[in-house]
Structure 1
Amino acid sequence: MRFNHLDLNLLVALDVLLEEQNITRAAERLHMTQSATSGVLGRLRSYFEDELLVQVGRKMQPTPYALELAAPVREVLLTIQSSITAKPVFDPTSSKRHFRLVTSDYLISVLFARVIQKIHQEAPHITFEMIGPNDFTTDLLARGEVDLMIVPERYILDGHPSQLLFEEEHVCVVWDANPLVGDSLTLEQYMGMGHVSVGFGRNRHMSIEDWFMNQYGFNRRLEVITNDFNTLPQLIVGTQRIATMHRRLARLYAAHLPLRILQPPVKIPVMREFMLWHRTMDGDPMHRWLRERISEFINDLEQR
């Protein structure tokens, strides 16, 4: 198919080439030979009258014009995928759709394990891939490479739909035999203790640390940094350390480990968890069904 003398199949290749910036890797994804992929790049250069990708040392770098093309090309492909090739009639009971979700291990433990069990009862053939948060989480959604993100409010992207799912509070958790802590905590005690915290991504982003720095001008003394929420309570057992964590997860682990849950010495802002999706998926019937079921099941669980 051609539009204004452009073979629209070339847009798929252009999207992959701009993402990979490497002929070999692009050829693998396109299921083409390297020479054929180089030929496609040549045709794209001829049509757009721009080099698009320029060899710099061992790497290929996009030209300024290529960077301008990247977002609209991806948007066109996503629109075609969701609006033109999607089937208007759907049946959850027989659908074999595969959904990629960005969510933390905390959410999987306290809610989504049960949500997926419920969804399986209505749509037994759909499958899921859970992706943990990282430095490129929002980029994945902006490029349409994941179906849903369930994340705190700060990750919401302008221009893409979102929905509030629930709110969460933070509590402090210590080993129940910790001799340094009674039934309550002062801010001085809290800041003087060794802390276990979670950091995500290359820069170990930690929202609570950001909040304490902005509010009080100092950081907690971090003695252990882990990369998932489920290890927080395990890492304080048998120590004099403290962890600040989600109330739901703390309650889950306090039922199985020797832990004590305490109120923080200061009011930590409530965390609001949102469901976020690419705007081109807004009208997709199966995608909409999944969003509705997730929201319904979480509301049911919250009311129990």
Structure 2
Amino acid sequence: MRFERLDLNLLVALDALLTERSVTLAAERLCLSQSAASSSLARLRDYFGDELMVVRGRQMTLTVRGEELREPVRAVLEQIRNTITVAPEFNPLTCDRQIKVVGSDYVTQVLLADVLCDLETSAPNMRVDILPLHDAPHEVIERQQADLLVSLDYALSPDHPSCLLFEDDHVMIGWDENPFMHSEITRQSYFDVGHAVARFGRMRVPAFEDSFMSRMKLARRVEVVAPTFLVLPKLVVGTRRVATVMRRLAEQMAQSEAIVLRELPFVMPPIREMLQWHVASGNDLALNWLVERIRLMASRDPAKAHLAASSPGRTASG
């Protein structure tokens, strides 16, 4: 590589020559033959228009120009070594960084909210921009439009690293005064009752339970389609409608909404929430740290994690 016509590889040779003041010793230091070291000195003399080193008696002495170059060249190489070979330190307490995370309102409610609460003390200068789910979630990672994607396993890109955060199953929610929620619920009655469902984006992408019904060719009476999971309680309270949502979310909803939970009258496979990042981000220390914090929070008991994050007197390790 050249800079201003200078082969930058010659800087290492120049440093050795000016330090050792001997072609022989410089060659040994560089693991080169003496002729190769002499060739490098010749090229350096030609570039700088100066002898750099001259023979005085039985020793070599630096010229005025050579002496002027000795310390600056050493400082430049030391800066390069420190930049390339020494990994930068990462301190979450002083990290000033914005990170974009794509995730649904469900993920935000049951996981990211607690993560952000933790970051207030563990990484107070880190800022998180939560973006809504794209119609094709994996594209935001492919195009590096976001740093992290939290989505279901089948929605990820196979070309980028990911990790499992948690699994969750589904339950039915309904108004706590809805007679249906207090009766025997059969498979047939489940499909006969009115449902509220969530679908996302411009393409109205169905949630997992909605697409599961379609794949199994099971027809529900869908009466309301909402753009988010979080509004579903408002759409069933005061009505005979029900909604099918993830258990973690339903349990949080039941703490503030007039709803009750019931088990489904049939088997539905659990969902697998995954975390993904671009393959080029492997050495991003801030991102790696945040990935581990998210994984740690996801591994906790959902109820305990939510209560701990909500406690004003809690502390967090960095």
- TM normalised by structure 1 equals 0.68
1:301 to partner: Cα distance: 4.3
Change in CA separation of 1:303 and 1:228 when aligned onto 2, cut-off 3 Å: closer
Whole-angstrom distance in 2 between the partners of 1:93 and 1:238: 47
CA deviations over 1:92-133 (Å, ceiling 9, x no partner): 111111000001111221221111111221110010100111
Amino acid at match of 1:211: F
1:303 to partner: Cα distance: 8.3
Paired residue for 2:209? Answer: 208
Is the 1:173–1:250 Cα contact (8 Å) retained in structure 2?
yes
Paired residue for 2:143? Answer: 143
SS of the aligned residue for 1:163 comes to strand
Q: Which has the larger radius of gyration?
A: 2
Amino acid at match of 1:213: S
Listed as ranges, the gaps of 5+ residues in structure 1 are 3-82
Paired residue for 2:175? Answer: 175
Amino acid at match of 2:300: D
Is the 2:195–2:241 Cα contact (8 Å) retained in structure 1?
yes
Whole-angstrom distance in 1 between the partners of 2:300 and 2:261: 25
Amino acid at match of 2:209: I
Report how many residues are paired: 221
Q: How does 1:52-71 map to 2 (within 5 A)?
A: none
CA deviations over 1:148-182 (Å, ceiling 9, x no partner): 01111111211100000111110001111112343
Amino acid at match of 1:180: F
1:209 to partner: Cα distance: 2.5
Amino acid at match of 2:222: L
Whole-angstrom distance in 2 between the partners of 1:171 and 1:221: 17
Change in CA separation of 1:167 and 1:235 when aligned onto 2, cut-off 3 Å: same
1:302 to partner: Cα distance: 4.0
Paired residue for 1:243? Answer: 243
Change in CA separation of 1:180 and 1:293 when aligned onto 2, cut-off 3 Å: closer
Whole-angstrom distance in 2 between the partners of 1:100 and 1:145: 8
- TM normalised by structure 2 equals 0.65
Is the 2:248–2:302 Cα contact (8 Å) retained in structure 1?
no
Change in CA separation of 1:202 and 1:303 when aligned onto 2, cut-off 3 Å: closer
Paired residue for 2:97? Answer: 97
Is the 1:162–1:274 Cα contact (8 Å) retained in structure 2?
yes
1:201 to partner: Cα distance: 1.7
Whole-angstrom distance in 2 between the partners of 1:242 and 1:119: 36
Paired residue for 2:21? Answer: none
Paired residue for 2:274? Answer: 274
Is the 1:209–1:219 Cα contact (8 Å) retained in structure 2?
no
**CA-atom RMSD, angstroms?**
2.1
Is the 1:209–1:220 Cα contact (8 Å) retained in structure 2?
no
